[in-house]
Amino acid sequence: MNLGYSTWGMPTVPIDVAIPHIAQLGFDGMELAVGPRFITELSTLDAAERKRIAGLLKQHNLALPAIAAHSSLMETDPEAHAQNMWRLKGAADLGVELAQGDSLPAINTTSGGQPEEWDSQKQFLAERIGELVEYTQTLGVTVAMEPHIGGLIDTPDKVLELLDLVGSPYLKVNFDISHFDIIGIPTEESVAALAPHSAHTHVKDQRGLAPDFEFLIPGEGPFDYANYLKLMEQHGYDGFITAEVSFMVQAREDYDPLAAATLSYETLSRAFADAGIDRTR
What is the number of H-type helices and E-type strands within the chain?
Answer: 10, 10
Query: Is 281's pLDDT higher than 80?
Result: no
Amino acid (one-letter) located at 185: I
Cα–Cα dist 178/193, whole Å: 15
- Name the pTM for this structure: 0.96
The SS3 of residue 216 is: strand
Q: Give just the sign of the alpha carbon dihedral 252, 20, 103, 67.
A: positive
Mean pLDDT value across residues 76-96: 98
Helix ranges (DSSP H) in 137-280: 156-166, 178-181, 187-194, 225-234, 247-250, 257-275
pLDDT, tens digit (0-9, with 9 covering 90-100), for 8-19 = 999 999 999 999
Helix ranges (DSSP H) in the chain: 15-25, 47-59, 78-98, 118-136, 156-166, 178-181, 187-194, 225-234, 247-250, 257-275
Mean pLDDT value across residues 83-94: 98
Mean pLDDT value across residues 178-207: 98
Bridge partner list, 203: 243
Q: What is the pLDDT of residue 101?
A: 86
275 pLDDT tier (thresholds 50, 70, 90): very high
Cα–Cα dist 15/52, whole Å: 10
- Which of 194, 270, 273 lies closest to 237, judged by CA? 194
The domains located in the chain, with CATH, are: 2-275 (3.20.20.150)
100 pLDDT tier (thresholds 50, 70, 90): confident
Sheet with strand 106-109: strands edge to edge: 198-202, 171-176, 143-145, 106-109, 63-68, 29-33, 2-6, 240-243
Cα–Cα dist 129/111, whole Å: 9
Q: What is the pLDDT of residue 102?
A: 85
Q: What is the mean pLDDT of the chain?
A: 98
pLDDT, tens digit (0-9, with 9 covering 90-100), for 18-75 = 999 999 999 999 999 999 999 999 999 999 999 999 999 999 999 999 999 999 999 9
Phi, psi of 32 (to 5 degrees): -100, 125
